[in-house]
Amino acid sequence: MKYIILITMCSFLIACAYSSDVVKMGPNKYSVTGTAGSERGGAYGAKQVAVETANKYCKNLGKQVNVTNVNVATINSNGTGSADVTFNCVP
């Protein structure tokens, strides 16, 4: 029974995609990190999740996102990806 629960939890984690909270790095300069399992696109999916989070953040300020830098990487042998997105919000 323990193994079934463990396998189910591992399968769930592989299919996840999420982002960190937006971090203010300076005046109108922000950063967010996205992570996605291989089933959600790995590094590409992580970038998509991070950019969506940045877009929502700027939209809440009544502005549009302007992505200034993206760094993507595959972080494990399962194909999980990570993306660090730096952005600012413009009128």
Q: Using 50, 70 and 90 to split pLDDT, how confident is the model at 7?
A: very low
Rounded Cα–Cα distance for residues 53 and 22 (Å): 8
Q: Using 50, 70 and 90 to split pLDDT, how confident is the model at 11?
A: very low
Structural domain span for residue 21: 2-90
Number of domains within the chain = 1
Pair of tokens at residue 58: 């700027």
What's the CATH number where 43 sits?
3.30.1360
Percent of the residues in the chain that have a pLDDT greater than 70, as a whole number: 84
Give the end-to-end CA distance of the chain in Å, rounded to a whole number. 55
Q: What is the pLDDT of residue 15?
A: 63
Q: Using 50, 70 and 90 to split pLDDT, how confident is the model at 68?
A: very high
Q: Residues 38, 44, 47, 51: is their CA dihedral positive or negative?
A: negative
Residue matched to tokens 């396998």: 7
Q: Is residue 86 within 8 Å of 20, Cβ to Cβ? A: no
Q: What is the pLDDT of residue 5?
A: 47
Q: What is the pLDDT of residue 41?
A: 92
Rounded Cα–Cα distance for residues 33 and 39 (Å): 18
| pTM for the model | 0.81
SS3 (DSSP) at 47: helix
